[in-house]
Amino acid sequence: MHVIFVAPEFPANQREFVRVLRDVGAYVTGIGERPLEALDEQLKSWLGAYEQVRSVCDVDQMIQTVQRIQARGWVDRLEATIESHILPAARVREATKIPGTSVETALLCRDKPLMKAHLRKHGIPCARSTGANSGDEVRAFADEVGYPIILKPRAGAGAEATIRVDDDETLARALLEMAVSAGKSIAVEEFVEGHEGFYDTLTVGGEVVHEFVSHYFPNVLEAMRTRWISPQIVVTNRLSMPDYDEVKALGRRVVEAMGLQTSATHMEWFFGPKGLRFSEIGARPPGVRQWDLYNAANDMDVYRDWAHAIAFGSTQQTPSRRYSSGLVALRPDRDGRISHYDGVDAVVAHLGDWLIDLHLPEPGTPTQPVEAGYMANAWVRVKHPDFDTLRSLLDFVGQTLKVRAR
Q: What is the pLDDT of residues 202-213, one digit of tens each?
A: 999 999 999 999
pLDDT of residue 160: 67
Quote the Cα angle for 185-191-193, to 5°: 155
Say whether both 282 and 335 belong to one domain.
Answer: no
Q: Quickly state the pLDDT bin for 157 (edges 50, 70, 90).
A: low
Domain that holds residue 373: 323-406
Say whether both 134 and 254 belong to one domain.
Answer: no
pLDDT of residue 179: 80
For 240, other C-beta atoms within 10 Å of its C-beta total 9
What average pLDDT does the segment 321-330 reach? 98
The per-residue b/e assignment along 198-226, b for 16 or more CB within 10 angstroms, e otherwise, is: bbbbbbbeeebbbbbbbbbbebbbebbee
What average pLDDT does the segment 192-196 reach? 95
CA dist., res. 106 & res. 115, Å (int): 10
Q: Residue 111: CB partners within 8 Å, gap ≥ 6?
A: 131, 154, 155
Q: Quickly state the pLDDT bin for 183 (edges 50, 70, 90).
A: low
Q: What is the DSSP track for 227-251?
A: TT---EEEE-S-TTSGGGHHHHHHH
pLDDT of residue 145: 93
pLDDT of residue 125: 96
Question: Mean pLDDT in the chain?
Answer: 95
Tally the domains of the chain: 4
Q: Is residue 316 part of a domain?
A: yes
Whether the per-residue pLDDT at 181 is higher than 70: the answer is: no
Q: What DSSP element (H or E) covers 29? A: strand 27-32
Q: Are strands 402-405 and 27-32 parallel, antiparallel or unpaired?
A: unpaired
pLDDT of residue 180: 79
pLDDT of residue 153: 87
Whether the per-residue pLDDT at 156 is higher than 80: the answer is: no
Please tell me whether residue 377 adopts helix, strand or coil conformation.
Answer: coil
Q: Assign residue 58 the CATH number of its domain.
A: 3.40.50.20
- Give the start-end residues of each E strand in 93-239: 129-132, 149-153, 163-165, 186-190, 195-204, 207-217, 232-235
What average pLDDT does the segment 350-364 reach? 98
Q: Assign residue 259 the CATH number of its domain.
A: 3.30.470.20
pLDDT of residue 343: 98
What average pLDDT does the segment 84-110 reach? 97
Say whether both 132 and 202 belong to one domain.
Answer: no
Going from the C-alpha of 219 to that of each of 112, 363, 399, the distances in angstroms are: 19, 30, 18
Whether the per-residue pLDDT at 158 is higher than 70: the answer is: no
pTM above 0.85, yes or no: yes
- The size of the chain, in residues, is 406
Q: Is residue 285 part of a domain?
A: yes
Whether the per-residue pLDDT at 69 is higher than 70: the answer is: yes
Quote the Cα angle for 156-358-386, to 5°: 90
Q: Residue 122: CB partners within 8 Å, gap ≥ 6?
A: 253, 257
Q: Residue 166: CB partners within 8 Å, gap ≥ 6?
A: 147, 148
Whether the per-residue pLDDT at 242 is higher than 60: the answer is: yes
pLDDT of residue 159: 63
Say whether both 155 and 238 belong to one domain.
Answer: no
CA dist., res. 355 & res. 296, Å (int): 10
What are the tens digits of pLDDT across the range 112-149? 899 999 999 999 999 889 999 899 999 999 999 999 99
